[in-house]
Chain A
Amino acid sequence: MSVNQEGSQEAIRRRSWRDIDLRAVAPFVALALLLLVGALVNPNFISINNLANVATRSAFIAIIAVGATFVISSGDLDLSVGAMVAFIASLMILFMNSGVIADPVLMLLAAILFAIVAGTLCGLTNGLITTVGRIEPFIATLGTMGIYRGLTTWLSQGGAITLKEPELQEMYRPAYFGTIAGVPVPIVVILAVTAVAAFILYRTRYGRHVVAVGSNRDVARYSGISVNRVRTVAFVIQGLCVAVAVLLYVPRLGSTSATTGILWELQAITAVVVGGTALKGGAGRVWGTICGAFILELVGNIMLLSNFISEYLIGAIQGAIIIIAMLVQRSLVRKS
């Protein structure tokens, strides 16, 4: 601590504005631009009502993507989330239809618990296959994606699975359509899930371990971190998030089919990448992730409201977005 420290105080002040991490800010800038474009395309777009609608519809992807942020930050990937949604939702509806519990309130609570346990187990399966089985996460979750999807098709016998009990349906509806203090429930859930996730990722020991494991597994191992446990828990968190998304999904339509959640893994991963999380692991940005999910939904909404582009192209646009996001990320890394 000698001459070296002199002048650093002043230097720090001078560069504080440059300290802003471009990658963390980029998604929010993109969001602001999109809002501007939308407002120009259609004046109805910027209304509170429309935006709240968009946010509500982004809930499924946003919540799933929050879980994906953990998996990706720890250096893994989960492709099975879309199929997992269909599978858990089908199981949950079948459970409610089975009528094993007579009292509707108890039945609903049991069904919620059931979905959460199912999500945990699905996530745990993915985690154990990749870590204990030492199979590339890409392949492992590609496999479970096929399994979850196939089981759903089998459960529904190729058709739909619909919630039969009207009383249950009535009672469960507000979970998606209701509001809390004027705010739609799904938006409240997004915020709550994200806040908890941000706390875990930035403020707990486990969160630090996730980032360490994602940046360099050797360093993590030499620091006494059990790498496989950290990775497995990330998959379990992903499973839990999928379960929460299912809890919002079931009351919306009261029905699932073999095509439920198709390509949601693409959207979830896109949201994470657009949000600024590095796909090679080592840096997670939870708030960026939900911003990314919101952006995806907004793009769709703008396409609907404008007449320039057919809304049937939405999948193609989303595919393009992930590629553009990766390019932007890389150029920002180079600069810094």
Chain B
Amino acid sequence: MEFRIGQEMPLIKKLEILTDAAKYDVSCTSSGSRRSGDGTGIGNTVKAGICHSFSADGRCISLLKILLTNECIYDCKYCVNRCSNDVARASFTPEEVCRLTIEFYRRNYIEGLFLSSGIWQDPTFTMGMIYRTVLKLRKVYRFRGYIHVKAIPGADPEVVRLTGFLVDRMSVNLELPTAEGLSRLAPNKHRKTILTPMRQIQNGIVSSREEVALYRHAPSFVPAGQSTQMIIGATPEHDYQILSVAESLYRKFDLKRVFYSAFVRVNEDRELPALPGGPPLLREHRLYQADWLLRFYGFSADELLSEERPDFNLLLDPKADWAIRHLEQFPVEVNRASYERLLRVPGIGVKSARRIIQSRRSCALDFCHLKKMGIVLKRAQYFITCSGKMLYPVRMQEDYLARQLIDSRERLPFEADRVTYRQLSLFDDRRFVMDRQNFVRQAWT
């Protein structure tokens, strides 16, 4: 294999520049598509997706996540690639992207390609280059693995449509939760130009599903669905606003995933908040947990937050937080409760709820059974009974339970905040939460 294709810049240098420029996009999943190999090409996809490595920041590496170019005519304030920045620029040829993808794939480094791009000349030209690249990868290299591309807002819908038939997932980044935030930090972008391709992709997916149902061999359009990303903490929105936006994206645009990206300050700009404590990782983590509750646990944004209580308690996961504020709904009898009610118990997840329903058909379950099934009794014990009995007699009282559930060993996706966890008593906690949120907001104003 020839890696250098008569270029001025060595491929490895390009790869470095264009990986560095792509890394702030958080999505890297390869899930949602099931396609088996065809016996002669290369690649397949599995429904749940596969992670292949984890980088030093603990994030999963599943796809070759690169930009086609980091040239950009726009000037989004939060982005390293903005045209007013003086950074090294590079562009891949479609051929180079294909070779990298194939050579990485056959060694089992990756599940496929995640291709995004700065705005090169204009949106339609950029989308056209993305299209040419994935067309080559699918048709010339016969690649059947996972492909995720960005749909470029403002590009000719026809190019977006053609690309949609070649890829598994498409995403258009919402970037910021509100239109005001967008106009402040991304002056070249507009809510409308972002939502237009999102709607187009949604409609494309629906009609393609109908066609596939009719004609089995009709080409499928974006089979793994579309996703989007919001930057958290660059603008002053509350969690409640963010989660409500996510909820309506799921409901109205039928999105597969909404990703939250804790703001990392890469540019000096007075429009950007200072965030001396680093990116708001704990907040991002709580949003992901809440997002999970929306998608799989039947919760709505209004149940979790409100105008009066617009931000998550940073010390408790959103489900435990909800449970201790709704003690009237507990305890739940494990041997009788419906699946939906079991799901609302802290410490019981989707899998364990299903297992409970299955197993209790053949015998009455006790705590010992539950433990062996993988239910986290440390959390669940306060909220359940087995044949009418609790594990230990407990006080069903909000403050007491909150103290039990604040978990100093909670596995957070980062370490910095853990010390604070252990040091705080519950009463300080509330203040801490307030402080922290105010702090974020002050930093911004």
A binds B: no
